[in-house]
Amino acid sequence: MSKLFEISADILAIVEQQDEVPQTTEALEQALNSLQIEFQDKALGVVHFVLNETADIDAIGIEIGRLVKMKQSKENRIEWLKAYLKTQMEIVGKDKIQTPLRKIAIQNNPKSVKINEENIIPDAYKKFTVTLSDSKYLQDVLIAAPDSKVDMTISKTKIKEALEQGVGVQGAEIIQTQRLVIK
């Protein structure tokens, strides 16, 4: 059985022969019809293959979604179990459990900054980014379009440095959290 590109080449050759000879012979017409039918069959085969591959892609996408949900569910269960074990260890006053197979311990996380009230953080600890869209200049003054966007981020690093040096920062504090470590 011929390949699709070979059939295309054969059809073009017959069409060129018909252009050269004003009267088409019955043999050329039959050959052309036969090639067109074979071409359609091949094209239909390609379309069916594409549709099968598309169905496979859809099924894979659905399976990926299912697996992502399953993974998230298991991660959530692990986090809940770890929190449960940590809480129970704290209740009974144990910060370490040593077994022949595992070591379980409650350890301090690095100190971190907790933002209590974002709106009262001093501007010295904030960074503002303006995203302009369709802005205009009028006498060297920038006029931002109404849909321009201003993003504000707070530098927890600068706040932590200030707090560690004894400088008070309104709306923020240093906190010490703990985690359960399983080795």
Residue 153 three-state SS:
strand
Residue 40 has pLDDT above 90, yes or no: no
pLDDT number for residue 136: 56
Rounded Cα distance, 125 and 113, in Å: 12
Tokens of residue 119, six digits: 């709106």
Choice between 101 and 2, residue whose per-residue pLDDT is larger: 101
The pTM score is 0.57
How would you classify residue 139: left for phi > 0, otherwise alpha for psi between -120 and 50, otherwise beta? left
Rounded Cα distance, 149 and 138, in Å: 20
Which pLDDT tens digit goes with each residue over 152-176?
Answer: 889 999 999 999 999 999 999 999 9
Which pLDDT tens digit goes with each residue over 102-123?
Answer: 999 999 999 999 999 988 999 8
pLDDT number for residue 24: 62
Choice between 101 and 34, residue whose per-residue pLDDT is larger: 101
Rounded Cα distance, 173 and 40, in Å: 73
Choice between 23 and 34, residue whose per-residue pLDDT is larger: 34
Confidence bin at 74 (pLDDT 50/70/90): very high
Please provide the average confidence, as pLDDT, over all residues in the chain.
85
Q: Max CA-CA distance within the chain?
A: 103
Residue 49 has pLDDT above 60, yes or no: yes
Residue where the block lists tokens 């400088």 = 167
pLDDT number for residue 94: 95
